[in-house]
Amino acid sequence: MILRARTILPVSQPPIENGAVVISGNKIRAVGSWADLPSPADEKVLDLGEVILLPGLVNAHCHLDYTDMAGELPPPKTFTDWIPLITAAKTAWSYSEYAHSWLHGAHQLLKTGTTTVADIEAMSDLLPEAWDATPLRVFSFLEMTGIRARRNPKDILREAVGTIDSLTHARSSASLAPHAAYSTLPELLRLTAGLARKRKWRITTHIAESEDEFEMFTRARGRMFDWLKRNERDNSDCGLGSPVAHLARQRLLGENVLAVHVNCLARGDATLLAKNRSHVAHCPRSHDYFKHPKFERERLANAGVNLCLGTDSLATVRQTGKQRPELDLFAEMQALADRDKAVSPEEILRMATVNGARALGLAGKIGGLSAGAFADAIAIPFAGKISRVHEAVLGHSGNVAASLIEGRWAVPPR
């Protein structure tokens, strides 16, 4: 199949006017200008017309199973106040509510251009059926906590690994997510890090998300410290340095690690992340919901950290007006552009494509249109000048005109 479009924006190379992408099976065979392509012998040509054809977006952080909590939790005063709210909401839900919510979220991502998602699974029982029910490529990171239940970290890990080993799928896969430094014991972080290195697995974790967490680890005091102490957490790992330094001490940082949020940095943290080649996922609308301190994009980028973009869950996106918010990476790109005037549209798009691919260990396979990559592409309407193509992507809102995943239409062109 050959897809022709007014503009191709491969991200991995400069934009192409009147271009085409040649697809064989689930991979891309060639990308170039229409005029330069060898004449298509008996291949089917589909002219998408006045659109930008670009790589499917890579959502580096999501909780699909919380989608139907959209607009349910009003923004709390502090992050610590939010923890009992989400815990209560989770306890009140049945299995079928989680299942429905997960699929609802997958549908929202697909229609708004995400083709790969790094998803935190609070309910691993949903797999592999949930994977089968969507064309989306899902990296499912199984959430591990274990403060309240006082479970042995070895048991928590053994159970998660048992689930991972029982799951096989052509497109999607599972791995580990120690939930956060504050919600786990240091031993779980150490054990997870060691096992992930051995098995060559990617891991993800929430880190340095709030000022409360930063104060807890750096100074062994504050709202979160006190609240967790009341809930029987052994806080002897606090007061030794920043949350990022805590991960380093547990030997968790590495090239296989996607650190989520990283809103609060101590001196040296950006360098520590860069030196360990760890990746960072920023979630602009969730950041805005909690009113966290300014995300230090430039400091992290200047240190050399690979920065990606995620939606987080809809439980932490503000509802404006009557319309419930939806999972949408275009809305996240716009939110970042609104708050950070120093970042270029081109860089924002890289965060939502090639950078996310690198963080998931799939550089050259997803997040860019190039020969040998999976045929994951989306189209958005565009009739403007090629020099404005990045601005046009950032200006897009609503559903995409088409979405292709591994050579099959997830959203067929109209």
Find the shortest distance in angstroms from Cβ 108 to Zn ion. Answer: 16
Is 312 or 326 the residue whose CB approaches Zn ion more closely? 312
Is 118 or 362 the residue whose CB approaches Zn ion more closely? 118
Compute how many residues bind Zn ion; rule: CB under 5 A: 1
Find the shortest distance in angstroms from Cβ 260 to Zn ion. Answer: 6
Is 62 or 127 the residue whose CB approaches Zn ion more closely? 62
Find the shortest distance in angstroms from Cβ 168 to Zn ion. Answer: 26
Beta carbons of 271 and 212 less than 8 angstroms apart: no
Is 121 or 312 the residue whose CB approaches Zn ion more closely? 312
Distance (Å) of CA 371 to CA 12, 21, 30: 11, 9, 5
Phi, psi of 3 (to 5 degrees): -105, 125
Is 65 or 312 the residue whose CB approaches Zn ion more closely? 312
Residue nearest to Zn ion (CB): 312
Question: In the stretch 131-160, what mask flags binding to Zn ion with x, by CB under 5 A?
Answer: ------------------------------
Q: What is the rounded distance in angstroms from the CA atom of residue 163 to the CA atom of residue 155? A: 13
- Residue range at the interface with Zn ion (CB under 5 A); choices 47-55, 109-117, 240-248, 310-318: 310-318
- Residue range at the interface with Zn ion (CB under 5 A); choices 222-230, 287-295, 311-319, 389-397: 311-319
User: At 79, which helix (H) or strand (E)?
Assistant: helix 79-92
Residue 395: CB partners within 8 Å, gap ≥ 6?
none
Question: In the stretch 59-88, what mask flags binding to Zn ion with x, by CB under 5 A?
Answer: ------------------------------
Number of residues written out for the chain: 414
Is 59 or 334 the residue whose CB approaches Zn ion more closely? 59
DSSP characters over 252-276: --STTEEEEE-----TTHHHHHHHT
Count CB atoms within 10 A of the CB of residue 238. Answer: 24
Q: What is the rounded distance in angstroms from the CA atom of residue 190 to the CA atom of residue 205? A: 13
Distance (Å) of CA 135 to CA 110, 254, 293, 404, 411: 8, 30, 36, 9, 10
- Residue range at the interface with Zn ion (CB under 5 A); choices 39-47, 101-109, 225-233, 306-314: 306-314
**Strand 2-8 to strand 16-24: parallel, antiparallel, or no bridges (unpaired)?**
antiparallel
- Residue range at the interface with Zn ion (CB under 5 A); choices 29-37, 111-119, 309-317, 398-406: 309-317
Closest CA to 260 of 310, 218, 316: 310
- Residue range at the interface with Zn ion (CB under 5 A); choices 5-13, 26-34, 78-86, 305-313: 305-313
Is 261 or 390 the residue whose CB approaches Zn ion more closely? 261
- Residue range at the interface with Zn ion (CB under 5 A); choices 123-131, 158-166, 312-320, 357-365: 312-320
DSSP characters over 372-386: TSB--EEEEE--S-G
**Contact set with Zn ion (CB under 5 A):** 312
